[in-house]
Amino acid sequence: MSRNIVALLLAVSLASHCHADDKALPASKEKAAVDLAKKAYEEQVAAAKSAYNEAIERAKKKLMNSYDLSIAAAMKRGGGDALDLANQLNDEKKSMAVLIESGGAPAQTSAAASIKKTLVGTWLLVGVKAGSAPWASEMTFSQEGSVLSRSNSGNAKGTWMLEPGKKQIILRWEGADTWDALKLPLNPELTMAESHFGPDLMVARKIR
Residue 159: per-residue pLDDT: 94
Same domain, 52 and 123: no
Contact 193, 180 (CB under 8 A): yes
pLDDT on residue 9: 47
Q: Which structural domain, as residue segments, surrounds residue 125?
A: 116-206
pLDDT band of residue 103 (cuts 50, 70, 90) is low
Report if residue 82 sits inside a domain.
Answer: no
**Residue 99 within any structural domain of the chain:** no
- Note the pLDDT of residue 4: 55
Residue 157: inside a domain: yes
Domain presence at residue 133: yes
- Mapped onto helix, strand or coil, the DSSP state of residue 174 is coil
Q: Are 72 and 125 contained in the same domain?
A: no
Per-residue pLDDT at 26:
58
Question: Does residue 51 belong to any structural domain of this protein?
Answer: yes
Is the pLDDT higher at 9 or at 151?
151
Last-in-domain residue among 57, 77, 97: 77
5-14, 28-37, 134-143: lowest mean pLDDT where?
5-14
Domain boundary among 77, 96, 128: 77
- Give the pLDDT of residue 105: 52
| pLDDT > 80? residue 203 | yes
pTM of the model: 0.49
What is the average pLDDT across 78-82? 77
121-153 confidence digits (pLDDT tens)? 999 999 888 888 888 999 999 988 999 999 888
Are residue 63 and residue 10 in the same domain, yes or no? yes
Return d(Cα 92, Cα 162) in angstroms, integer: 8
pLDDT at 6: 46
143 inside domain? yes
Residue percentage of the chain with pLDDT more than 90: 27
Whether 1 has a pLDDT exceeding 80, the answer reads: no
Q: How many domains does the chain have?
A: 2
CA pair distance 85, 89, nearest whole angstrom: 6
Please report whether residue 31 resides in a domain.
yes
Higher pLDDT, 95 or 36: 36
* pLDDT score of 189: 94
In a domain, 92, yes or no: no
Q: What is the CATH number of the domain that holds 172?
A: 2.40.128.640
The predicted pLDDT at position 86 comes to: 86
- CB atoms under 10 Å from CB of 4, counted, come to 8
Q: Are 67 and 89 in contact (CB under 8 A)?
A: yes
Amino acid (one-letter) located at 185? P
> In which element (H, E) is residue 61 found?
helix 3-77
Confidence of residue 8 (pLDDT cuts 50, 70, 90): very low
Residues 122 and 72 reside in one and the same domain: no
Single residue among 30, 48, 77 that ends a domain in this structure: 77
Query: In this structure, are 194 and 122 located in the same domain?
Result: yes
Residues 120 and 201 in one domain: yes
Whether residues 131 and 202 share a domain: the answer is yes
Residue 88 makes CB contacts below 8 A (sequence gap 6+) with: 159, 161, 172
130: Cβ contacts below 8 Å, ≥ 6 apart: 200
